[in-house]
Structure 1
């Protein structure tokens, strides 16, 4: 088999290439930002030039309309493995191209598209390169520099991820809204913060609310897509604001009681008790963070409606202990309390941090169980075999 890969700064691209090598699959990987375009003649020319070589399929992380159209033109299967949410390109008209095999990690989103008659979508949870991670972690036994790095990352609780507190984020650009609209948005945001497992914001954005938002910061759906204006506001404006508020609230509560490390790009003066360690490199340092933090938190973007985020899979793949908010897809593959743990509220999060920090052996056994399941069922080699069984 010979696979053509396109990528642009995707997490996991080195791991997917390692999996192809281990599976004796030939591949060529091309890095180009043009793949993010919906239409682009320059990309079309790059693709056409590659078609002088016989490829069995094209592979990308996330979904690219311009690649799909090229694959349709040359009658070659296009495999898109989705790890981002929201991903507006999934509402492009091109998703129905018969060349497409779109594997979505969020079962709720997959079912929504499938039940709408989109027959090119499939469900596939995300994956981890446990071989690479295990090699890295084993270096701590023989490499003093790595051992010192591991000691640096030791803490009670850690969170790796964006705080969505950038200046001029989309939601905070909504200025001069009528008091009724501001109050309405505050109300539905506070209500959503109390509910896990069902994201209801989009259906509550009624026409008068949308009109007011459009007057403040216009959001225009793509002309070659079926996404709605309410979708754009719900998933790109409000979901990220929810993440900012929720992560700040939960991490503030945790850091007041436990030694807590935060790995994020931006400063967090609003969290004075937390140790903000700045951003962390995904490949070279993050495995040591997850392995040496006694508890690793997953606080999902609410736009991930039921799926298991990549962060959560990575934590378990590093033999780290995972404490996550509720996501329905966990229950298809893992047993909370045996393979990982789930919190249901801020109070429950604090109680479970306290409990698992006091019960070291139980916490270590849960981490080992989680790693065992990821290592057996959720590696890239396992997932690629499942994907290829569908496509070929």
Structure 2
């Protein structure tokens, strides 16, 4: 076996560094050209006064808020604890609530009833479907309008007697999730950010030996419940990752994996009716908005938003995912072109500015 000298190893490291710098330079310049080329449509301002109640999903809430500010005559924002009081003072045309879960107070529904009694139109936009239907089935009937990003729950809410139910996909806050130059510490060949739900654990347990020793970054809670956790421990950052950090890691990765969480009822979900997941998650838009190649497990509505093999790519098994990682890491130009097409599609069709226009048309604003 030939033993390489420190000088040879240093030369290899320098060459790899130059190659990585060249690749990232090509990517950064191409992303910049696309961002400059896509000119957002001028917002149409609807003559409505809106009271918005955020969920606490930082990127989604801020994306909606900034889009609404450009799209409605008057926007007010209030905490869920004070929404009935603020609605009574402001008397908006409608109150738009994101999700209505987790941090909402115990008297949430009583407040919604009070707002409706004032003749103010109440709208809820569910962003966690179908994983929390055990809770949403008791929330939805209290609202005049129910919006959901999940195809499988539309029939459910209609059968509950909700008078107005609409499919309304989420989008990306393109002011935050965007191409940027990042430091070397954020760079990886393969990146995954998210909670270690059991289906994700299963995939990464299968891939652990393959990923060992590669430039990998994994972040999120519960990853220490992997059988092969020790194999990947050095590349796993346990716990919540701030949005700003996630954006940096997405930008620094050559490939970002998007694996939707399991819908199976149990400790990871309150999917009481065991509804399937048919719709894509917000991460689909966020990864593509950073100009990075995304490998995702498919959902039924994915073809409405991205073209697999052209704007991102898909996998269904750990073996297929491994093979596609191998392929794209050795086909740099193809990887970069797919990522760029995904960025272009996202900026053109899937920002919150475009989604709020869709929202306005649906609600008749």
Task: Give yes or no for TM over 0.5.
Answer: yes
Report the Cα distance in structure 1 between the residues aligned to 2:315 and 2:254, rounded to whole angstroms: 16
Alignment of 1:53 with 2:75, yes or no, is no
Alignment of 1:120 with 2:185, yes or no, is no
- Tell me which residue corresponds to 1:196: none
CA RMSD of aligned residues (A): 2.5
How do 1:15-26 residues align onto structure 2 when only pairs under 5 Å count? 15-23=63-71, 25-26=73-74
Q: Which one of the candidate residues 315, 335, 339 is aligned to 1:367?
A: 339
Report the Cα distance in structure 2 between the residues aligned to 1:17 and 1:100, rounded to whole angstroms: 21
Q: Which one of the candidate residues 175, 182, 186 is aligned to 1:153?
A: 186
Alignment of 1:108 with 2:155, yes or no, is no
1:24/1:72 CA distance change after superposition, 3 Å: closer
How do 1:28-43 residues align onto structure 2 when only pairs under 5 Å count? 28-32=76-80, 34=81
- Tell me which residue corresponds to 2:298: 326
Helix, strand or coil at the partner of 2:341: helix
1:25/1:322 CA distance change after superposition, 3 Å: farther
- Report the Cα offset of residue 283 of structure 1: 3.3
Helix, strand or coil at the partner of 1:27: strand
Aligned residues: 291
- Tell me which residue corresponds to 1:187: none
Helix, strand or coil at the partner of 2:296: strand
- Tell me which residue corresponds to 2:258: 298
Q: Which moved more, 1:340-349 or 1:64-73?
A: 64-73
Q: Which moved more, 1:243-252 or 1:57-66?
A: 243-252
- Tell me which residue corresponds to 1:91: 137
Report the Cα distance in structure 2 between the residues aligned to 1:83 and 1:254, rounded to whole angstroms: 34
- Tell me which residue corresponds to 2:205: 249
- Report the Cα offset of residue 325 of structure 1: 1.1
- Tell me which residue corresponds to 2:247: 287
Is the Cα contact below 8 Å between 1:306 and 1:327 reproduced in 2?
A: yes
Report the TM-score, using the length of structure 2 for normalisation.
Answer: 0.72
1:8/1:62 CA distance change after superposition, 3 Å: closer
- Report the Cα offset of residue 384 of structure 1: 1.0
Is the Cα contact below 8 Å between 2:188 and 2:253 reproduced in 1?
A: yes
Report the Cα distance in structure 2 between the residues aligned to 1:52 and 1:31, rounded to whole angstroms: 14
- Report the Cα offset of residue 129 of structure 1: 1.4
After superposition, the C-alpha distances for 1:335-358 in whole angstroms (9 at most, x for unaligned) are 110111110211111101111111
Is the Cα contact below 8 Å between 1:247 and 1:299 reproduced in 2?
A: no
Is the Cα contact below 8 Å between 1:316 and 1:370 reproduced in 2?
A: yes
- Tell me which residue corresponds to 2:356: 384
1:128/1:49 CA distance change after superposition, 3 Å: closer
Structure 1 unaligned blocks of 5 or more:
35-42, 141-146, 165-241
Q: Which moved more, 1:326-335 or 1:340-349?
A: 326-335
Q: Which one of the candidate residues 109, 112, 124 is aligned to 1:80?
A: 124
1:341/1:126 CA distance change after superposition, 3 Å: same
- Tell me which residue corresponds to 1:181: none
Q: Which moved more, 1:242-251 or 1:258-267?
A: 242-251
Report the Cα distance in structure 2 between the residues aligned to 1:26 and 1:254, rounded to whole angstroms: 54
